[in-house]
Chains A and B, each alone.
Chain A
Amino acid sequence: MKRIYLDYSATTPTHPEVVKAMLPYFTDVFGNPSSIHSYGQEAKGAIEEARVKVADLIGARGEEIIFTSGGTEADNFALKGVAFANESKGNHIITGSIEHHAVIETCKFLERRGFLVTCLPVDEYGLIDPGDVKKAITDKTILISVMQANNEMGTIEPIAEIGRIARDAGIYFHTDAVQVVGHIPVDVNELEVDLLSMSAHKLYGPKGVGALYIRKGTKLIPFMHGGDQERRRRASTENIPGIVGLGKAVELARQEMGEEAERLTYLRDQLIKGLLERIDHTCLNGHPLKRLPNNVNVSVDFVEGESMLLNLDLEGICASTGSACSSSSLEPSHVLLALGLSPEQAHGSLRFSLGKWTGEEEIERVLEILPRIVAKLRAMSPLLKSH
């Protein structure tokens, strides 16, 4: 059976061309960039080349890009780095209720260290109201962190408007753009962000590498102490193959992004429309238009997500769910609850995230299989009375 991967928001396969670009850096160009001999300098050159590519993609300068081990580290670095470096100015941080755990848990950690965190609600589509951000600002506010697009239900936040508010108030602004970079255009100056997190494996790059954009002049403490790497902001011998892979992935994304976003948006809307038409008592989660080109998230009433996923998997279709039953904490998705969904609706949520190797055929197959699965599960659901 041909398997169908529809979980690109969890991770993407590494693009074959990215793998090809990385390979020499395991064997031939293996030097330590801190060494002054030719091996070291070749490796150093490769890092700087990748740095410029990443910077170019988001309208930044090379020196404003720090390579990290991924999106989670970039989020941790941004939040802890700014918080601890600006304690003398204030202790208040503003964030949203649907952030990734990398931001939420870091904020909780900072709260335990004496920082005050305001967590803003979202509307039924998952949008933060920039007016709420403005109202939440106090003279103690040192950082605002709002994700650019949500990983579960795809809603794209009004980052530029929040950026303007932060800039006017003189407050640092961080955005987690892990789901966005490489998929739709991002410009740090248009968005007026001071810090931006990204991850390679969400854009057909390798796992274990990401980057944090840090606007020149931003005060933050180093993430790791040790050697002089990454302008002394993150010590540790650089992950050269990974960084080269990220550079190549970014280069490919730049060439393909425009067309690919259009293609995926079309497929996304086909899938959404088809699911809502073919399965009654189903609703779309997240904003219908302000939405990542590749994200489909629906709640199917009266059925539980893990049992749907399991049935889909038996048919070779790989997706994900926000159901409590499939999370290790046995809690439903905090994102879906924040939209105002009941725990039962969160239970019945399914996310299909599309990507480079998704075509009409895959969408058709989901539309053919899922209604059958739902009918089978509904027949055994006590929530749906047969009379």
Chain B
Amino acid sequence: MRDVWSLYSEKVMEHFKNPRNVGEIENPDGIGHVGNPVCGDIMELYIKVNDSTIVDAKFKTFGCGAAIATSSMVTEMVKGKSIDEALEISNRAVAEALDGLPPIKMHCSVLAEEALKSAIEDYLAKSK
């Protein structure tokens, strides 16, 4: 019951208010589905891949403001990246792209990184 979001950056609030890439992709090439062991939230990430390049990404998230903003940001970041490049994206990079997160909310960005990794793993497993 405390005012955690007074610590959210303007960028976080902007992505929270207008999240990009919300929804599902029909016939995705990879789906990541992860739960947050810390607070119990859930994130789903869908990717479309063409020639080893991620051409589209969408998400669905049940979680706090930081979880929604990091989901939005990570889907923006992966678009146009090769699979190898996308695997390099860390939770810190997502948080930095949002001008930082309150320390207590860093675990939400971990969720975003894991959702992306799990979507890519799903894609790699399927394309074998």
Which residues of chain A have a CB within 8 Å of any CB of chain B? 10, 302-304, 306-307, 310, 313-314, 320-328, 330, 332, 343-344, 347, 379-383, 386
A310 to B19, CA, bound (A): 14
Chain B neighbourhood of A302, CB < 8 A: 62
Chain A neighbourhood of B41, CB < 8 A: 304, 325, 347
Which residue of B16, B39, B67 has the most chain A CB atoms within 10 A of its CB atom? B39
Q: Is B125 in contact with chain A by the CB < 8 A criterion? A: no
Chain B neighbourhood of A383, CB < 8 A: 42, 62
> Please, could you name 22 A-B residue pairs with CB atoms under 8 Å apart, sorted by A?
A302-B62, A304-B41, A304-B64, A307-B16, A307-B63, A307-B64, A307-B65, A310-B65, A313-B5, A314-B17, A323-B64, A325-B41, A325-B64, A325-B67, A344-B62, A347-B41, A380-B19, A380-B22, A380-B59, A382-B42, A382-B43, A383-B42
Among A10, A321, A347, A382, which residue has its beta carbon within 8 angstroms of that of B60? A382
Whether A325 lies near B39 (C-beta < 8 A) is yes
Chain A neighbourhood of B60, CB < 8 A: 380-382
Chain A neighbourhood of B42, CB < 8 A: 382-383
Whether A328 lies near B2 (C-beta < 8 A) is yes
Q: Chain A: which residue is nearest B33 at the CB level?
A: A382
CB under 8 Å from chain A, chain B span 16-48: 16-17, 19, 22-24, 33, 38-44
Q: Chain A: which residue is nearest B65 at the CB level?
A: A310
Chain A neighbourhood of B17, CB < 8 A: 314
A330 to B104, CA, bound (A): 9
Whether B40 lies near A326 (C-beta < 8 A) is no
Chain A neighbourhood of B43, CB < 8 A: 382
Interface size on B, residues (CB 8 A): 29
Question: A10-B1, A330-B104 are contacts. A324–B39 as well, Cβ < 8 Å?
Answer: yes
Question: A325-B63, A380-B60 are contacts. A386–B1 as well, Cβ < 8 Å?
Answer: no
Q: List 4 other contacts, CB 8 Å, given A380-B61, A382-B43.
A: A10-B1, A307-B65, A310-B5, A327-B1
Q: Is B98 in contact with chain A by the CB < 8 A criterion? A: no
A381 to B23, CA, bound (A): 9
Chain A's nearest CB lies how many Å from the CB of B101?
13
Chain B's nearest CB lies how many Å from the CB of A319?
10
Whether B39 lies near A379 (C-beta < 8 A) is no
Chain B neighbourhood of A324, CB < 8 A: 39-40
Which residues of chain B have a CB within 8 Å of any CB of chain A? 1-2, 4-5, 16-17, 19, 22-24, 33, 38-44, 59-65, 67-68, 104, 107
Chain A neighbourhood of B39, CB < 8 A: 324-325, 330
Question: A10-B1, A328-B2, A328-B104 are contacts. A347–B65 as well, Cβ < 8 Å?
Answer: no
Chain A neighbourhood of B40, CB < 8 A: 324, 332, 343-344, 347
A306 to B5, CA, bound (A): 9
A304 to B62, CA, bound (A): 6
Chain A neighbourhood of B68, CB < 8 A: 307, 380
Q: Chain A: which residue is nearest B71 at the CB level?
A: A380
Q: Chain B: which residue is nearest A313 at the CB level?
A: B5
**What 4 A-B pairs have minimum CB-CB distances, sorted nearest first?**
A325-B64, A382-B60, A324-B39, A306-B64
A302 to B42, CA, bound (A): 11
Chain A's nearest CB lies how many Å from the CB of B106?
12
Chain A neighbourhood of B67, CB < 8 A: 304, 307, 325
Among B2, B33, B59, which residue has its beta carbon within 8 angstroms of that of A327? B2
Q: Chain B: which residue is nearest A314 at the CB level?
A: B17
Chain B neighbourhood of A343, CB < 8 A: 40
Whether A310 lies near B104 (C-beta < 8 A) is no
